[in-house]
Amino acid sequence: MQSSPDLAAGNIYDLGYRRYQGARLGRRQAVLTIYLQSLRAAFGLGRRPAAKIVPVALVVLALFPAALRLGIAAATDQNIRIVEPANYYSYIQILLALFVAAQAPELVGRDLRNNTRPLYFSRAIRRSDYALAKLVALASAMLFMTALPQVVLYVGNAFAGSHVWPEMRDSAPDLPRIAVSAVALSLFMAAVSLAVAAQTSRRAFAAGGIIALFVFSGTVGGVLVEAGSALWNRLGILISLYDVMRGATFWIFATDPEPESQLGRADLPGPLYAALLAALASLALVLLLRRYMRFRP
Protein backbone atom coordinates (compact mmCIF):
# COMPACT_ATOMS: atom_id res chain seq x y z
CA MET A 1 0.00 0.00 0.00
CA GLN A 2 1.28 3.43 -0.89
CA SER A 3 1.15 6.20 1.63
CA SER A 4 2.08 9.74 0.80
CA PRO A 5 3.31 11.92 3.69
CA ASP A 6 0.51 14.45 3.11
CA LEU A 7 -2.13 11.82 3.36
CA ALA A 8 -0.65 10.38 6.51
CA ALA A 9 -0.51 13.81 8.13
CA GLY A 10 -4.10 14.56 7.16
CA ASN A 11 -5.48 11.31 8.48
CA ILE A 12 -3.53 10.48 11.58
CA TYR A 13 -6.21 8.11 12.79
CA ASP A 14 -6.77 6.37 9.50
CA LEU A 15 -4.34 3.48 9.44
CA GLY A 16 -6.48 2.12 6.65
CA TYR A 17 -7.31 -1.42 5.73
CA ARG A 18 -4.47 -3.90 5.94
CA ARG A 19 -4.15 -7.52 4.94
CA TYR A 20 -4.19 -9.96 7.86
CA GLN A 21 -1.17 -12.22 8.25
CA GLY A 22 -1.91 -13.56 11.73
CA ALA A 23 -3.24 -16.87 12.95
CA ARG A 24 -6.44 -18.42 11.69
CA LEU A 25 -7.73 -20.85 14.27
CA GLY A 26 -10.54 -22.14 12.09
CA ARG A 27 -13.47 -24.26 13.17
CA ARG A 28 -12.30 -24.79 16.76
CA GLN A 29 -12.23 -21.07 17.43
CA ALA A 30 -15.59 -20.62 15.69
CA VAL A 31 -17.32 -23.23 17.83
CA LEU A 32 -15.69 -21.96 21.02
CA THR A 33 -16.81 -18.41 20.19
CA ILE A 34 -20.41 -19.44 19.58
CA TYR A 35 -20.36 -21.51 22.78
CA LEU A 36 -19.01 -18.71 24.97
CA GLN A 37 -21.24 -16.05 23.46
CA SER A 38 -24.30 -18.27 23.95
CA LEU A 39 -23.32 -19.10 27.53
CA ARG A 40 -22.98 -15.39 28.29
CA ALA A 41 -26.28 -14.70 26.54
CA ALA A 42 -27.99 -17.33 28.75
CA PHE A 43 -27.33 -14.99 31.70
CA GLY A 44 -27.98 -11.80 29.75
CA LEU A 45 -24.29 -10.84 29.73
CA GLY A 46 -23.41 -8.51 26.91
CA ARG A 47 -27.09 -7.56 26.73
CA ARG A 48 -29.06 -4.77 28.33
CA PRO A 49 -29.47 -4.91 32.14
CA ALA A 50 -33.10 -6.09 31.96
CA ALA A 51 -31.97 -9.29 30.24
CA LYS A 52 -30.02 -10.31 33.33
CA ILE A 53 -32.92 -10.11 35.79
CA VAL A 54 -34.78 -13.33 34.94
CA PRO A 55 -31.85 -15.77 34.73
CA VAL A 56 -30.10 -14.41 37.80
CA ALA A 57 -33.34 -14.37 39.81
CA LEU A 58 -34.01 -18.00 38.87
CA VAL A 59 -30.53 -19.09 39.93
CA VAL A 60 -31.03 -17.34 43.28
CA LEU A 61 -34.48 -18.93 43.74
CA ALA A 62 -33.07 -22.37 42.92
CA LEU A 63 -30.76 -21.97 45.90
CA PHE A 64 -33.70 -21.34 48.21
CA PRO A 65 -34.39 -24.96 49.33
CA ALA A 66 -30.72 -25.41 50.15
CA ALA A 67 -30.66 -22.11 52.05
CA LEU A 68 -33.82 -23.10 53.92
CA ARG A 69 -32.39 -26.39 55.11
CA LEU A 70 -29.07 -24.83 56.04
CA GLY A 71 -30.86 -21.99 57.80
CA ILE A 72 -32.98 -24.36 59.86
CA ALA A 73 -29.92 -26.40 60.70
CA ALA A 74 -28.08 -23.28 61.83
CA ALA A 75 -31.02 -21.96 63.87
CA THR A 76 -32.13 -25.18 65.55
CA ASP A 77 -28.92 -27.14 65.61
CA GLN A 78 -30.85 -30.00 64.07
CA ASN A 79 -30.03 -31.44 60.66
CA ILE A 80 -33.52 -32.20 59.39
CA ARG A 81 -33.32 -34.43 56.38
CA ILE A 82 -36.14 -33.15 54.20
CA VAL A 83 -34.29 -31.49 51.35
CA GLU A 84 -32.04 -34.27 50.07
CA PRO A 85 -29.77 -34.38 47.01
CA ALA A 86 -31.98 -37.06 45.43
CA ASN A 87 -35.18 -34.99 45.61
CA TYR A 88 -33.69 -31.52 45.29
CA TYR A 89 -34.63 -31.18 41.62
CA SER A 90 -38.27 -31.94 42.45
CA TYR A 91 -38.45 -28.88 44.69
CA ILE A 92 -37.17 -26.60 41.95
CA GLN A 93 -38.60 -28.32 38.86
CA ILE A 94 -40.76 -25.37 37.86
CA LEU A 95 -37.75 -23.06 38.19
CA LEU A 96 -35.73 -25.36 35.92
CA ALA A 97 -38.49 -25.28 33.31
CA LEU A 98 -38.79 -21.50 33.61
CA PHE A 99 -35.05 -21.09 33.05
CA VAL A 100 -34.96 -23.07 29.80
CA ALA A 101 -38.25 -21.51 28.68
CA ALA A 102 -36.80 -18.03 29.16
CA GLN A 103 -33.30 -18.64 27.81
CA ALA A 104 -33.61 -21.23 25.02
CA PRO A 105 -35.50 -18.73 22.80
CA GLU A 106 -32.80 -16.20 23.66
CA LEU A 107 -30.09 -18.52 22.33
CA VAL A 108 -31.65 -19.68 19.07
CA GLY A 109 -34.58 -17.31 18.51
CA ARG A 110 -32.48 -14.16 18.14
CA ASP A 111 -30.54 -15.53 15.19
CA LEU A 112 -33.82 -16.70 13.67
CA ARG A 113 -35.53 -13.35 14.19
CA ASN A 114 -32.64 -11.24 12.96
CA ASN A 115 -31.91 -13.65 10.10
CA THR A 116 -28.29 -13.95 11.26
CA ARG A 117 -27.96 -17.66 10.53
CA PRO A 118 -26.72 -17.20 6.92
CA LEU A 119 -23.74 -15.29 8.34
CA TYR A 120 -22.84 -18.19 10.64
CA PHE A 121 -23.45 -20.91 8.10
CA SER A 122 -21.34 -19.15 5.48
CA ARG A 123 -18.34 -19.34 7.82
CA ALA A 124 -15.92 -22.16 8.51
CA ILE A 125 -18.28 -24.33 10.55
CA ARG A 126 -20.80 -27.08 9.96
CA ARG A 127 -24.40 -26.46 10.83
CA SER A 128 -24.27 -29.21 13.42
CA ASP A 129 -21.39 -27.32 15.09
CA TYR A 130 -23.66 -24.35 15.53
CA ALA A 131 -26.52 -26.39 16.98
CA LEU A 132 -24.27 -28.39 19.31
CA ALA A 133 -22.49 -25.27 20.55
CA LYS A 134 -25.88 -23.80 21.46
CA LEU A 135 -26.94 -27.04 23.17
CA VAL A 136 -23.79 -27.36 25.26
CA ALA A 137 -23.97 -23.66 26.14
CA LEU A 138 -27.53 -23.90 27.46
CA ALA A 139 -26.73 -27.14 29.31
CA SER A 140 -23.69 -25.43 30.87
CA ALA A 141 -25.87 -22.55 31.97
CA MET A 142 -28.35 -25.02 33.45
CA LEU A 143 -25.58 -26.39 35.68
CA PHE A 144 -25.95 -23.16 37.66
CA MET A 145 -29.54 -24.24 38.30
CA THR A 146 -28.86 -27.93 38.98
CA ALA A 147 -25.31 -28.52 40.20
CA LEU A 148 -24.73 -25.23 42.04
CA PRO A 149 -27.52 -25.64 44.65
CA GLN A 150 -26.46 -29.25 45.23
CA VAL A 151 -22.86 -28.20 45.83
CA VAL A 152 -23.99 -25.41 48.15
CA LEU A 153 -26.11 -27.93 50.06
CA TYR A 154 -23.24 -30.41 50.26
CA VAL A 155 -20.68 -27.91 51.51
CA GLY A 156 -23.20 -26.19 53.78
CA ASN A 157 -24.19 -29.47 55.38
CA ALA A 158 -20.59 -30.26 56.14
CA PHE A 159 -20.02 -26.89 57.79
CA ALA A 160 -23.33 -27.01 59.65
CA GLY A 161 -22.21 -30.08 61.60
CA SER A 162 -19.52 -29.96 64.25
CA HIS A 163 -17.18 -32.24 62.31
CA VAL A 164 -16.59 -30.79 58.86
CA TRP A 165 -14.27 -33.37 57.38
CA PRO A 166 -15.98 -36.55 58.60
CA GLU A 167 -19.29 -35.16 57.37
CA MET A 168 -17.83 -34.37 53.95
CA ARG A 169 -16.23 -37.80 53.75
CA ASP A 170 -19.43 -39.56 54.71
CA SER A 171 -21.49 -37.91 52.03
CA ALA A 172 -18.68 -38.01 49.44
CA PRO A 173 -20.44 -40.79 47.46
CA ASP A 174 -23.10 -38.20 46.65
CA LEU A 175 -20.64 -36.08 44.67
CA PRO A 176 -20.41 -38.21 41.51
CA ARG A 177 -24.16 -38.75 41.71
CA ILE A 178 -24.73 -35.02 41.92
CA ALA A 179 -22.43 -34.52 38.93
CA VAL A 180 -24.07 -37.22 36.78
CA SER A 181 -27.65 -36.22 37.63
CA ALA A 182 -26.99 -32.51 37.15
CA VAL A 183 -25.31 -33.05 33.77
CA ALA A 184 -28.00 -35.50 32.61
CA LEU A 185 -30.92 -33.27 33.58
CA SER A 186 -29.24 -30.14 32.21
CA LEU A 187 -28.55 -31.76 28.86
CA PHE A 188 -32.04 -33.23 28.71
CA MET A 189 -33.83 -29.98 29.46
CA ALA A 190 -31.52 -27.99 27.17
CA ALA A 191 -32.09 -30.38 24.25
CA VAL A 192 -35.88 -30.47 24.67
CA SER A 193 -36.21 -26.70 25.06
CA LEU A 194 -33.91 -25.87 22.14
CA ALA A 195 -35.75 -28.33 19.89
CA VAL A 196 -38.94 -26.40 20.64
CA ALA A 197 -37.37 -22.93 20.51
CA ALA A 198 -35.67 -23.55 17.15
CA GLN A 199 -39.05 -24.09 15.49
CA THR A 200 -40.28 -20.53 15.88
CA SER A 201 -38.85 -17.04 15.86
CA ARG A 202 -41.67 -15.84 18.13
CA ARG A 203 -40.27 -15.70 21.61
CA ALA A 204 -43.61 -16.00 23.37
CA PHE A 205 -44.62 -19.10 21.40
CA ALA A 206 -41.31 -20.78 22.12
CA ALA A 207 -41.38 -20.02 25.84
CA GLY A 208 -45.03 -21.04 26.13
CA GLY A 209 -44.39 -24.26 24.25
CA ILE A 210 -41.52 -25.23 26.52
CA ILE A 211 -43.46 -24.53 29.72
CA ALA A 212 -46.47 -26.36 28.31
CA LEU A 213 -44.36 -29.38 27.44
CA PHE A 214 -42.96 -29.74 30.95
CA VAL A 215 -46.00 -28.73 32.97
CA PHE A 216 -48.82 -30.20 30.88
CA SER A 217 -47.03 -33.49 30.30
CA GLY A 218 -47.11 -33.73 34.09
CA THR A 219 -50.79 -32.78 34.23
CA VAL A 220 -51.80 -35.29 31.55
CA GLY A 221 -49.66 -37.93 33.20
CA GLY A 222 -51.24 -37.14 36.57
CA VAL A 223 -54.75 -37.59 35.15
CA LEU A 224 -53.79 -40.97 33.73
CA VAL A 225 -52.26 -41.97 37.04
CA GLU A 226 -55.52 -41.18 38.80
CA ALA A 227 -57.48 -43.01 36.10
CA GLY A 228 -57.03 -46.25 37.93
CA SER A 229 -55.49 -49.38 36.54
CA ALA A 230 -51.83 -50.17 37.09
CA LEU A 231 -51.10 -49.97 33.37
CA TRP A 232 -52.55 -46.46 33.04
CA ASN A 233 -50.75 -45.53 36.21
CA ARG A 234 -47.39 -46.50 34.75
CA LEU A 235 -48.11 -44.95 31.39
CA GLY A 236 -49.03 -41.72 33.13
CA ILE A 237 -45.69 -41.63 34.91
CA LEU A 238 -43.78 -42.22 31.67
CA ILE A 239 -45.65 -39.45 29.87
CA SER A 240 -44.78 -36.86 32.50
CA LEU A 241 -41.36 -35.36 31.77
CA TYR A 242 -40.96 -34.28 35.39
CA ASP A 243 -41.62 -37.86 36.58
CA VAL A 244 -39.16 -39.29 34.09
CA MET A 245 -36.54 -36.82 35.35
CA ARG A 246 -37.39 -37.71 38.93
CA GLY A 247 -37.26 -41.47 38.28
CA ALA A 248 -33.89 -41.19 36.57
CA THR A 249 -32.54 -39.05 39.41
CA PHE A 250 -33.63 -41.57 42.06
CA TRP A 251 -31.95 -44.30 40.06
CA ILE A 252 -28.70 -42.28 39.80
CA PHE A 253 -28.76 -41.72 43.60
CA ALA A 254 -29.61 -45.40 44.14
CA THR A 255 -32.60 -44.29 46.26
CA ASP A 256 -36.14 -45.60 46.28
CA PRO A 257 -38.98 -43.13 45.95
CA GLU A 258 -41.51 -42.92 48.80
CA PRO A 259 -43.67 -46.03 48.53
CA GLU A 260 -46.86 -43.98 48.74
CA SER A 261 -45.84 -41.46 46.07
CA GLN A 262 -46.99 -41.83 42.47
CA LEU A 263 -43.51 -42.87 41.48
CA GLY A 264 -43.38 -45.44 44.31
CA ARG A 265 -46.72 -46.92 43.37
CA ALA A 266 -45.77 -47.22 39.72
CA ASP A 267 -42.79 -49.32 40.84
CA LEU A 268 -40.97 -49.16 37.50
CA PRO A 269 -37.31 -50.18 37.15
CA GLY A 270 -34.90 -47.24 37.51
CA PRO A 271 -32.94 -47.92 34.31
CA LEU A 272 -36.19 -47.54 32.37
CA TYR A 273 -36.42 -43.88 33.43
CA ALA A 274 -32.78 -43.30 32.55
CA ALA A 275 -33.18 -44.97 29.16
CA LEU A 276 -36.32 -42.94 28.44
CA LEU A 277 -34.56 -39.75 29.47
CA ALA A 278 -31.69 -40.52 27.08
CA ALA A 279 -34.09 -41.48 24.27
CA LEU A 280 -36.13 -38.28 24.63
CA ALA A 281 -32.97 -36.16 24.73
CA SER A 282 -31.72 -37.88 21.56
CA LEU A 283 -35.03 -37.32 19.82
CA ALA A 284 -34.91 -33.65 20.75
CA LEU A 285 -31.34 -33.41 19.44
CA VAL A 286 -32.38 -34.97 16.13
CA LEU A 287 -35.22 -32.48 15.79
CA LEU A 288 -32.85 -29.62 16.61
CA LEU A 289 -30.21 -30.72 14.10
CA ARG A 290 -32.79 -31.39 11.42
CA ARG A 291 -34.16 -27.90 11.84
CA TYR A 292 -30.75 -26.46 10.93
CA MET A 293 -29.88 -28.99 8.24
CA ARG A 294 -33.10 -28.17 6.42
CA PHE A 295 -32.69 -24.42 6.71
CA ARG A 296 -32.52 -22.85 3.25
CA PRO A 297 -31.55 -19.19 3.28
Which residues form the interface with another protein (CB under 8 A)?
1, 13-20, 22-27, 29-30, 33-34, 37, 46-48, 110-111, 114-116, 118-126, 296-297
HSE of 11 in the Cβ direction (CA atoms, 13 Å)? 6
Cα separation of 39 and 46, whole Å?
A: 11
**Closer residue to another protein, CB minimum distance, 111 or 174:** 111
Please identify, using beta-carbon distances, which residue of 3 and 79 lies nearer to another protein: 3
Residue 114: CB minimum distance to another protein, A: 5
Give min distance, CB of 119 to another protein, in A: 5
CB of 109 to another protein, least distance (A): 11
* In the complex, minimum distance from the CB of residue 7 to another protein, in angstroms, rounded to a whole number: 13
Nearest CB to another protein, comparing residues 47 and 169: 47
Nearer to another protein, 27 or 169 (CB): 27
Phi first, then psi, for residue 77 (nearest 5°) are: 65, 15
Distance CA 202, CA 112 (A): 9
Nearest-approach distance from CB 67 to another protein, in angstroms = 34
Rounded Cα distance between 230 and 224, Å, is 10
3-state DSSP of 31-97: HHHHHHHHHHHHCCCCCCCHHHHHHHHHHHHHCHHHHHHHHHHHHHCCCCCCCCHHHHHHHCHHHHH
Nearest distance from residue 234's CB to another protein, in Å?
45
d(CA 74, CA 269): 38
The DSSP call for residue 123 is S
Closer of 21 and 78 to another protein (Cβ): 21
Which of 17, 165 has the CB closer to another protein? 17
In whole angstroms, the minimum distance from the beta carbon of 50 to another protein comes to 11
20 or 165: whose CB is closer to another protein? 20
Cβ(33)–Cβ(116) under 8 Å? no
Query: Which candidate, 198, 191, 196, 91, places its Cα nearest to that of 145?
Result: 91
- Give the integer Cα–Cα distance in Å for 257 and 155: 24
Contact 84, 190 (CB under 8 A): no
